[in-house]
Amino acid sequence: MGIVLGPNQYGKAENRVVRVYRDQPRHVVRDLNVSTALRGDFGDAHTTGDQAHILPTDTQKNTAFAFAKKHGVDEIEDYALVLGRHFLEVPVVTAAQIEVDEYAWERIDVAGQGHDHAFVRKGQELRTTLVIVESGAGEPRATVTSGVKDLVLLKTTGSEFRGFYIDEYTTLQPTDDRIMATSLTARWRYAHLEVEWTKAYDSIRSLVLERFATVYSLALQQTLYEIGRAVLTAHTEVMEMTLVAPNKHHFAVDLSPYGLDNPGEVFIAADRPYGLIQATVLRDDEGQQGSDG
Amino acid sequence: MGIVLGPNQYGKAENRVVRVYRDQPRHVVRDLNVSTALRGDFGDAHTTGDQAHILPTDTQKNTAFAFAKKHGVDEIEDYALVLGRHFLEVPVVTAAQIEVDEYAWERIDVAGQGHDHAFVRKGQELRTTLVIVESGAGEPRATVTSGVKDLVLLKTTGSEFRGFYIDEYTTLQPTDDRIMATSLTARWRYAHLEVEWTKAYDSIRSLVLERFATVYSLALQQTLYEIGRAVLTAHTEVMEMTLVAPNKHHFAVDLSPYGLDNPGEVFIAADRPYGLIQATVLRDDEGQQGSDG
Amino acid sequence: MGIVLGPNQYGKAENRVVRVYRDQPRHVVRDLNVSTALRGDFGDAHTTGDQAHILPTDTQKNTAFAFAKKHGVDEIEDYALVLGRHFLEVPVVTAAQIEVDEYAWERIDVAGQGHDHAFVRKGQELRTTLVIVESGAGEPRATVTSGVKDLVLLKTTGSEFRGFYIDEYTTLQPTDDRIMATSLTARWRYAHLEVEWTKAYDSIRSLVLERFATVYSLALQQTLYEIGRAVLTAHTEVMEMTLVAPNKHHFAVDLSPYGLDNPGEVFIAADRPYGLIQATVLRDDEGQQGSDG
Amino acid sequence: MGIVLGPNQYGKAENRVVRVYRDQPRHVVRDLNVSTALRGDFGDAHTTGDQAHILPTDTQKNTAFAFAKKHGVDEIEDYALVLGRHFLEVPVVTAAQIEVDEYAWERIDVAGQGHDHAFVRKGQELRTTLVIVESGAGEPRATVTSGVKDLVLLKTTGSEFRGFYIDEYTTLQPTDDRIMATSLTARWRYAHLEVEWTKAYDSIRSLVLERFATVYSLALQQTLYEIGRAVLTAHTEVMEMTLVAPNKHHFAVDLSPYGLDNPGEVFIAADRPYGLIQATVLRDDEGQQGSDG
């Protein structure tokens, strides 16, 4: 029974690419964290140390920066696609994976007007995309999965948790009114590439917020499902949505030792442990596994 | 030559107090990180282990949560003041220091309206206050120093750095156009307690942003000074302002090896090392060392 | 085309379980970070909000702590197995995944002897295990994948990188002597459960270190492969090993502007970007997909 | 009442300087995080933007790396002293502050021998120094304050907390047996520069560990004081020691709902809030404020 190389990939992670558009007085800034990874027949690099087929991670970095100039960064999805397709031209590479996180900035308000070239970071959430370009019979095939990361949400009522399974280790009391809070990470896979990326992103992000706010929650699971269902219903170009949600617990503090009642007014926000809920919502007859090339 | 106990203090750090106001359909949420520390004659606790004068840090925690109910958290400055004055009543305590960081939330927009009880985290910056209440002759004396932490700013032009001192280890080229970026922490000490805290905070934060945006910068030092000067000029209730600003370097990437020019369009954002500029701006004839009790 | 629930799981993450054995004067401490996750038919919880089949994450937490007393934490693998098998008894649960990270402590040395009950944290690396228990036809089936996380390694010579593929974006110069450094995460899957876990862990960790040290490296890929090959050769109970290694770049600093040469003596350690190399080494005729139940 | 510039300083923070000694087959590696800061009359840089007296932080960085070659890094204290004295030669500079954290590495063990050029990170604690060189009448004056950071300690018994002050918000029960754990940061100021730095460091670190282990603790305050007293007693060259210790709480878990007792065996390690104890121990007749120049 021999020993062999199994799945492997390599690349350059977390290239902090900042692109400024300054051909107009009103500058635009795109602030990205770009990670690239290549897959293919890199057996020799591992087993004999022969690097003849290895495009250095340093070159991948150079390319990420060069393409920010050459092709621009209008939308992170398009930037990732052109980068992925480029790497697929390297001999022996069979798949390129490009991951981009974008930090948002908003113009500083000066006398009621957004300033031309001064910005303040907006939120802690990130807009993300994960693009995979693969070779195969015919044209390369591209899959675009975009998302939002670290969208921190909280509702102060409209959330219950009851009727759950009880065993000998259960001490939790059912509640019909609690704080529900999470730092949501969502990713959605597009059926094809004929998408107005930013318009879709804005619309999906709004839907996520709106569903979180207005769905009366019987559990975090149900809220996540309702978010996914709403997005897939409104966006036919989305094939599936995956949601990862830590349940950031807020425990009501017992103030009775000090003669105070606490009808849902004072909470301690806990760090660890936290619930962790993960769910994918998808179309039930998905004939199509990825986006078109 | 004997060995003795010198300066010391103890307290409970990072109490994550969340206060919900729900007596109206439109809920309000205040999300705080509260740290308390006490100073006084705690020699015995250290030298003999006698804890008779030690109010446990656990009790300090309980008090922080109880006061969020009993006295509310309308403004972090007032909440910290009432907490600090309370601790000063403990025997042997001569000073109480209360530090509060507040996380901002904004209402989720649903159909053009802010939702009643659903919120999304707003920015990564924190509003802060540091309150010290000290005993002395007469009434306890309180000093309020408020601020903003992690205000991430960037301007894509309007910043130069030239004419600096050159020695044998200097390789930096002067520049008349660069990206200037920082994650600003600012604190300002109030002369007295007759302040509308939130109104003052909003106004000072706006001034900080406005100065950062519109001052043509000859160096980060000059920008900081201009910010401090503007705040002290507009706010007579502020006695001094301290600014701590990492210079978050953005280096223009050399794209010439690939036949591309780079007129200030593509940058790499560096993590470490970073410049670190610290400055205090104050009134030159300050007869008053702190806020009134 | 309908919308349905896809893959999902839920659990309690990062339970910080600390277990002290104190029945002998010489105490033993086990310091764990335990995450549990359950899979099964939880469709109703998502689609209708009916939680009848949901064992709360709070109960999972309780069980993790209770089992640390009831069954002890002699080896993290055995603790995870008993926890996983227990959760599989919950109706509708078809798989339980238990992840344990263990922090190492060593006894404080007092006069040449390890102290009975005082400890200092040893290293920043973690010993890990990931246990999955699944139902099926017959007995539940368990898979144990153990590992080490954040093992920070550095060699000051004995590493080259040359002969790589060159394209128009390549500026990297080949080198025959560089610093190689990484923060290694390795996981290895056991063929069965008849393993002396700690003995195996210690032996595999030693092999990893020994291979990193003594293999003359032609690339990080080759070093990872040699590590995997050595482990699978020496440990017939290991079926596959996955290695994830950031290439923590150390760049030689150009000191020539100050009239100093730098023959591999002064480096700057960079944070981002970093190379990221991932590889799996496995047996080529693996008839067995997991560990036995 | 005018507005003026108050205290200010600037420098380059977190230069990750790695120095390899390779003139012998047995390499030595010193892995540092170096921060420099300058004080002096930099008023113009702030008020008019004139940078004529500003040595760029980029130059400070260059110097930190160049000096690692030119003067070596045998001991972090000596390296910091030479760097600080150098910066004091820059016109208008009146004080230079050099802060160095050192990461520890140990040789990888291969067949019972430490390897010549392969290393594994040892512990998460850092050895630190803070050197301030100031001009004045006569020779510059240097103060060396060395220390250890993030020394994570835990004892499973031998710690009580009782007899404390009780008020209306106190719910804590006294205990005569608890886990005591902390992540200690200690700094000690030397009286002069005639010190064998590494020998002193090793001895002080051992004393800290020994005192933590063997002092029966009536409170964390008492343990800190005993550590300080022991160090000042044994090391006449140390003038004062400051200790900062978060009380990393470990709460015994109530297992009675599951019919299990818990005599100090199962704990949950909490993240926040934490107690925070700070104390300085010093000589009572200190005629000397700093180290000699």
d(CA C277, CA C220): 7
Give the model's pLDDT for residue B124.
Answer: 83
d(CA B119, CA B77): 23
**Torsion sign (Cα): B227, B229, B232, B238:** positive
- What is the tens place of the pLDDT at every residue in A148-176? 999 999 999 999 999 999 999 999 999 99
Chain C: closest CA distance from residue A72 (Å): 17
**Chain B: residue whose CA lies nearest to C273:** B270
- For residue D178, the Cα-to-chain-centroid distance in whole angstroms is 27
Against chain A, the chains showing at least 3 CB pairs within 8 Å are B, C, D
Cβ neighbors of D93 (< 8 A, separation 6 or more) are D38, D39, D40, D55, D87, D135
Instruction: Give contacts of D 6-35 with B, CB under 8 A.
Output: 6-16, 35
Place of tokens 């809220």: A223
Give the model's pLDDT for residue D286.
Answer: 57
Chain B: closest CA distance from residue C236 (Å): 44
**Is D12 known to be catalytic?**
yes
Task: With a cut of 50, say whether residue D211 has pLDDT above it.
Answer: yes
Instruction: Give contacts of B 242-261 with C, CB under 8 A.
Output: 257-258
CB within 8 Å: A153 and B16: no
Give the model's pLDDT for residue B123.
Answer: 83
CA torsion, points C202, C208, C212, C216, in degrees to nearest 10? Answer: 120
CB within 8 Å: C51 and A15: no
Per-residue pLDDT of chain A (293 residues; tens, 9 = 90+): 699 999 999 999 999 999 999 999 999 999 999 999 999 999 999 999 999 999 999 999 999 999 999 999 999 999 999 999 999 999 999 999 999 999 999 999 999 999 999 999 998 899 999 999 999 888 899 999 999 999 999 999 999 999 999 999 999 999 999 999 999 999 999 999 999 999 999 999 999 999 999 999 999 999 999 999 999 999 999 999 999 999 999 999 999 999 999 999 999 999 999 999 999 999 997 544 445 44
User: Taking the CA atoms of chain A, what radius of gyration do you get in angstroms?
Assistant: 23
8-state DSSP, D217: B
Within 8 A of D109 by CB-CB distance, chain C residues are: 206, 209
**Is D149 known to be catalytic?**
no
pTM: 0.97
Q: Quote the percentage of chain D above a pLDDT of 90.
A: 94
Query: Beta partners for A164?
Result: none
State the burial class of residue D287 (Cβ atoms within 10 Å of its Cβ: 0-12, 13-18, 19+): exposed
Per DSSP (E only), the strands in chain A are 3-21, 28-40, 93-110, 113-134, 141-155, 180-190, 238-247, 250-252, 266-269, 274-283
d(CA B209, CA B213): 6
Within 8 A of A157 by CB-CB distance, chain B residues are: 22, 27, 117
- What number is the average pLDDT over the span B169-183? 98
CB within 8 Å: C265 and D66: no
**ipTM entry:** 0.95
State the burial class of residue C78 (Cβ atoms within 10 Å of its Cβ: 0-12, 13-18, 19+): middle
Catalytic positions of C, please? Answer: 12, 57, 249
d(CA A71, CA A63): 11
**Chain D: residue whose CA lies nearest to A273:** D270
The tokens for B230 are 């503007």
- What is the tens place of the pLDDT at every residue in D79-96? 999 999 999 999 999 999
Residues D188 and D200: beta-carbon distance below 8 Å: no
d(CA C214, CA B155): 50
Q: Is C87 helix (H, G, I), strand (E, B) or coil?
A: helix
- For residue A28, the Cα-to-chain-centroid distance in whole angstroms is 23
| Angle at CA of residue B173, ends B169 and B177, nearest 5° | 145
Alpha helices in chain C (DSSP H): 43-47, 57-70, 76-87, 197-214, 220-234
State the burial class of residue B271 (Cβ atoms within 10 Å of its Cβ: 0-12, 13-18, 19+): middle
8-state DSSP, B256: G
Cβ neighbors of C229 (< 8 A, separation 6 or more) are A3, C281
- What number is the average pLDDT over the span B148-166? 98
- For residue B227, the Cα-to-chain-centroid distance in whole angstroms is 15
Cβ neighbors of D202 (< 8 A, separation 6 or more) are none
Select from C278, C279, C282, C200 the least CA-distant residue to C239.
C282
Task: Specify the amino acid at residue C88.
Answer: L
Chain B: closest CA distance from residue C174 (Å): 17
Please report the number of interchain residue pairs, chain C to chain D, with beta-carbon separation below 8 angstroms: 198
Residues B15 and B35: beta-carbon distance below 8 Å: yes
- What is the tens place of the pLDDT at every residue in B261-285? 999 999 999 999 999 999 999 999 7
d(CA C212, CA D111): 14
The count of other CB atoms within 10 Å of the CB of residue A36 is: 29
Question: Could you say which of B155, B235, B249, B250 is catalytic?
Answer: B249
- What is the tens place of the pLDDT at every residue in C236-264? 999 999 999 999 999 999 999 999 999 99
d(CA B79, CA B68): 8
Give the model's pLDDT for residue D185.
Answer: 98
d(CA A182, CA A195): 29
d(CA C265, CA D38): 27
In degrees and rounded to multiples of 5, residue B96 shows phi and psi of -125, 135
Give the model's pLDDT for residue D137.
Answer: 84
The tokens for D265 are 């065996």
Residue among D169, D225, D242 minimizing CB distance to B62: D169
Chain B: closest CA distance from residue A109 (Å): 7
**Torsion sign (Cα): D213, D215, D217, D223:** negative
- What number is the average pLDDT over the span B136-149? 94
8-state DSSP, D30: E
**Chain C: residue whose CA lies nearest to A233:** C3
Which bin fits A81, alpha (ψ -120 to 50), beta or left (φ > 0)?
alpha
The count of other CB atoms within 10 Å of the CB of residue B5 is: 22
Select from C137, C103, C138 the least CA-distant residue to C123.
C103
Instruction: Give contacts of B 108-167 with D, CB under 8 A.
Output: 161-167
Within 8 A of A6 by CB-CB distance, chain C residues are: 240, 279-282
**Chain A: residue whose CA lies nearest to B17:** A268
**Is B57 known to be catalytic?**
yes
Q: Tell me the CA distances in angstroms from D177 to C59, D157, D160, D161, D272, one per residue in order.
A: 28, 6, 5, 8, 22
- What number is the average pLDDT over the span D216-243? 98
- What is the tens place of the pLDDT at every residue in C146-202? 999 999 999 999 999 999 999 999 999 999 999 999 999 999 999 999 999 999 999
The tokens for C39 are 């899979």
Instruction: Give contacts of D 162-191 with B, CB under 8 A.
Output: 162-167, 169-172
Q: E strand or H helix at D97, and its extent?
A: strand D93-110
Cβ neighbors of B4 (< 8 A, separation 6 or more) are D281, D282, D283, D284
d(CA B36, CA B286): 28
